[in-house]
Amino acid sequence: MSIGEGNCVTAHRITVRGLVQGVGFRPYIYRLAETYEVYGTVENANDAVYIHAEGTVEQLAAFLEAIPRDRPPAAEIFDIKTERAELGAAQEFRIIASSNRSAAVTRVSPDIAVCDDCLTDMTLQPHRMGYPLINCTNCGPRFSIIRDLPYDRPNTTMDVFPMCDTCRGEYADVRDRRFHAQPVACNVCGPVYSAWEGLREGLAGNNGVTGAAKAEGAVGALDGQDLADAVLERTAEIINNGGIVALKGTGGYHLVCDAFNEDAVRRLRTAKRREGKPFAVMFRDIAALHSVSAPVEAEIACLSSPARPIVLLPKHSGTAPSVCNGLAGIGAILPSMPFHYLLFEQLKTNAVVLTSGNISNEPIVITDSDAVERLGPLVDAVVSYNRAIHNRVDDSVVMVVNGSPRPIRRSRGYAPGPIPIFTNVEGILAVGAELKHTFCLGKGQDAILSQHIGDLKNAETLEFFEEAVERFSRLFRFEPRIVACDLHPDYLSTRFATQLGLPVVQVQHHHAHIVACMAEHNLHEQVIGVSFDGTGYGSDETIWGGEFFVADRAEFRRVAHLPPIPLPGGDLVVAEPWRTGLALLHREFGTAAFEMELPFLRTITEEQRAAVRTSLEKNLFCPLSCSAGRLFDAVAAITGVCSHAQFDAEGPMRLESVAAPGTHQAYPFRLEQARNSIDPETMLDIGLSDTIGALLEDMQSAQDLQLISARFHTTISQLIVQTSMRLRSTLGLNSVVLSGGLFQNRYILSQTESLLEKQGFTVYAHKKVPTNDGGIALGQLAAAAARS
């Protein structure tokens, strides 16, 4: 490098904040400095990357411009600050030792899908030929293997694998792509794959093993490449022959079978005890995906991103019928691990089911012993590698709506990446809701949202939650001073919060939804908040879920809501939405509802109908709910789409799945100034009697179900728009925030956003955290910070 003679030399101090540790950022800066002939230093501190750069004005300008433009694919830059510095007469550019500069902690990188360079190395480098765990600073495991900070090999589960001389040389070479790549390994020194067979029920004790000598119970000793080849060949053979494999992934086990083999998929459903919910499918490549679906450019970008999430596509055809069980869409994912790519080279199929390795609602299995014991009896082989998973992390799920990715489950590839919220949240622990659970820690001005935890009603999941809170607290040097939780007194997360002995801030469920979206968009002013979901405990101790708020981060007013529906049998309505359908008809038409000739009523016995009638007429075990989710359940039942649900939100999902695309006329509804409301804050009354009446008229005139569904969806979108317009005219508010599980409905979200924008509203919906209860913890955190 040289700084041109006669040019004016200056110095800058550059501070880069974001996800810039553990992603090859320092060697990247070093190589940039070489390219632009800049002298100085780069240092990795616990709160940022610090660069001292010396050069001409032109050199430094080009250097600064390149930093965000050409950054490593896994890096995320939140902020770059530049200030003049004292000239130090540097003669070279150096990477200097890391340091601690504050109480902040190093951000931990999420796990990253294998990069194209490593896939190429797998075919060219002798010591990594066919190595199924290849990685570099741009890819590979991160969060799943880290036990403590700093992020150095001794603090990861790679500590038991000493580097060979070749890997150590790459690790120490600043110009090498594996400079300071903590999981760096090869066929000579790295983890190896093994396979256990003969574990199915009735075959225990006749276990065959393909593995290395160092694996317990293994037969024979092979070098790394030969062993990988043997395991790959056997795994492919099992899948090609219609079998099921429990395959260890980055953050836990998956269950895998041929996605075009109906018998294999049905057997997997039985083994997993998952009768109805769709399975995700891993495709060989984009070309293979194009054979069953038509992803748009933004969806392809998500599928191919370093996070490598499952992407929900609206239409598909061609896989085994039991993969999606009659739903139009499909959850697609591309290979994320080297083993996946090598496996597809030997598979006859272009797609395999790739579903979480667990039973029912339990946490995903991460240890070999659990895999052999719990999954082994259900599958034809357990295929593993001997690098331990320390942090369990499920696959992430996203969908693309109006050109933007929308997270449905934020986990592998995203967690525990911080979410900057530009307000002090230090010491706040938010423990989330109960379903689709996550929790959140406040560090400085960062919200650190956990990976997907699951349903806390499951004992093993509750244990996972408590373990994860302890691990996050240790990893991020977190000391809680306040705990934020839901209002619901019976949520297990609420009970956990109240047992910590700390000041507790309770945040109403739907307010937390709205504030979560406000936090990710850095909103502090009052907004119109629309929170539509399945259920949430209201301030009046009733069930909410179809809410219009005027809200800021600290407070809210409930200014309108969907009309309440009785829920005969309480929680029974979740699995039996016909109950809600009958209750809705009874609300609108009285006892005549029980005499109606509707297809869904033919699936109900006279005894069941009589029991619900008694419950409704005598108001026994009939809590009222304003939930949008229950409204969709009711309409799904009435239209015959889903009278009995096998999984959460099946009715709304099937109702959306059959909706005709395009713009359709809404059903009529009532929207009036509130009169004699029980709640003095209520400004508008919403009535849906005309909606249900018109829908029944369409059914009686044999209108197409696709049109009926589309008209009902359009009605809800128009209801949101018209209510927002009435509130704007009264209150002068022009920002609308959309949050809650109903906005996972692609039809509703797409149409509502577009219609609101056409009316001149500024619309905010989730793009960083899930709109469902997986984002609740962020809202609790931000609300607690605003109140304190």
The model's pLDDT over 357-369, given as tens digits with 9 standing for 90+, comes to 998 789 999 999 9
pLDDT at 106: 65
611 class by beta-carbon count within 10 Å (0-12 exposed, 13-18 middle, 19+ buried): middle
Which pLDDT does position 496 carry in this prediction?
Answer: 97
Helix (H, G, I), strand (E, B) or coil at 14: strand
Contacts of 112 (CB under 8 A, 6+ apart): 23, 73, 74, 138, 139, 140, 142, 306, 307, 413
pLDDT at 342 over 90: yes
Report CA dihedral (125, 127, 130, 133) to the nearest 10 degrees: -110
Q: Which of 81, 143, 78 is nearest to 420 (CA)?
A: 78
Task: Give the confidence band of 406 by pLDDT, cuts at 50, 70, 90.
Answer: very high
- Structure confidence at residue 151 (pLDDT): 85
Using alpha carbons, select from 109, 159, 111, 164 the residue that is nearest to residue 135: 111
DSSP tag of 375: I
Residues 129 and 187 sit within 8 Å (Cβ to Cβ): yes
Q: How far is CA 774 from CA 329, 396, 633, 744, in A?
A: 22, 11, 21, 12
Confidence class for position 218, pLDDT limits 50, 70, 90: very low
What phi, psi does 495 have (nearest 5°)?
A: -65, -40
In this predicted structure, the answer to whether residue 203 has a pLDDT above a threshold of 50 is: no
pLDDT band with cut points at 50, 70 and 90 for residue 223: low
Greater confidence, 285 or 209? 285
Q: What is the pLDDT of residues 24-37, one digit of tens each?
A: 888 899 999 999 99
- In this structure, what DSSP letter does residue 345 have? T
- pLDDT band (50, 70, 90) for residue 1: very low
Q: What is the pLDDT of residue 221?
A: 41
**Three-state SS at 199:** coil
Task: Work out the percent of the chain whose per-residue pLDDT is above 70.
Answer: 94
Return the amino acid letter for 547: E
Low-confidence winner among 53-62, 183-192, 675-684 (lowest mean pLDDT): 675-684
HSE at residue 637, side-chain half, CA atoms within 13 A, is 27
How far, in Å, CA of 558 to CA of 561, rounded?
8
What is the pLDDT at residue 102? 57
Q: Structure pTM?
A: 0.93
312: region left, alpha or beta (phi > 0 left; psi from -120 to 50 alpha):
beta
pLDDT of residue 213: 28
The per-residue pLDDT for 679 is 67
Average pLDDT over all residues of the chain: 92
Contact 385, 371 (CB under 8 A): no
- For residue 121, what is the DSSP state? H
DSSP 454: B
> Residue 353 — pLDDT band, cuts 50, 70, 90?
very high
Assess contact for 550 and 523: CB atoms under 8 A.
no
217 has a pLDDT exceeding 70: no
Look-up of token digits 């796990």: 111
Where is average pLDDT lowest: 3-17, 215-229, 315-329? 215-229
Alpha helices in 305-357 (DSSP H): 321-324, 338-344
Compute the average pLDDT of residues 318-322: 95
What CA–CA distance (Å, rounded) separates 102 from 674?
Answer: 54
Q: 243-256: per-residue pLDDT in tens?
A: 999 999 999 999 99
220 pLDDT above the threshold of 50: no
* Average of per-residue pLDDT across 618-646: 96
Average pLDDT estimate for 440-467:
96
pLDDT of residue 635: 98
Q: How confident is the model at residue 212 (pLDDT cuts 50, 70, 90)?
A: very low
Decide if 363 contacts 468 (C-beta within 8 A).
no
Helix (H) or strand (E) segment spanning residue 480: none
In the block, which residue shows the tokens 């999984």? 647
Q: CA separation (Å) from 681 to 535, 564, 624?
A: 21, 17, 19
- Least confident residue range of 394-403, 679-688, 704-713: 679-688
Q: What is the mean pLDDT of residues 47-65?
A: 93
Task: Report the percentage of the chain scoring pLDDT > 90.
Answer: 84
Question: How is 685-719 classified by DSSP, letter by letter?
Answer: EEE-HHHHHHHHHHHHTT--HHHHHHHHHHHHHHH
Taking the C-alpha atoms of residue 659 and residue 657, their distance in angstroms, rounded to an integer, is 6
101-129 pLDDT, tens per residue?
A: 555 666 889 999 999 999 999 999 999 99
Q: What is the tens place of the pLDDT at every residue in 512-555?
A: 999 999 999 999 999 999 999 999 999 999 999 999 999 999 99
pLDDT at 222 over 80: no
Is residue 72 predicted with pLDDT exceeding 90?
no
Please give the structure tokens belonging to residue 285.
Answer: 């490549």
pLDDT score of 219 = 30
What's the rounded Cα separation, in Å, for the pair 513 and 430?
13
Measured CA to CA, the distance from residue 767 to residue 761 in angstroms comes to 18
**Is 139:165 a contact under the CB 8 Å cutoff?**
no
Q: What is the mean pLDDT of residues 414-425?
A: 94
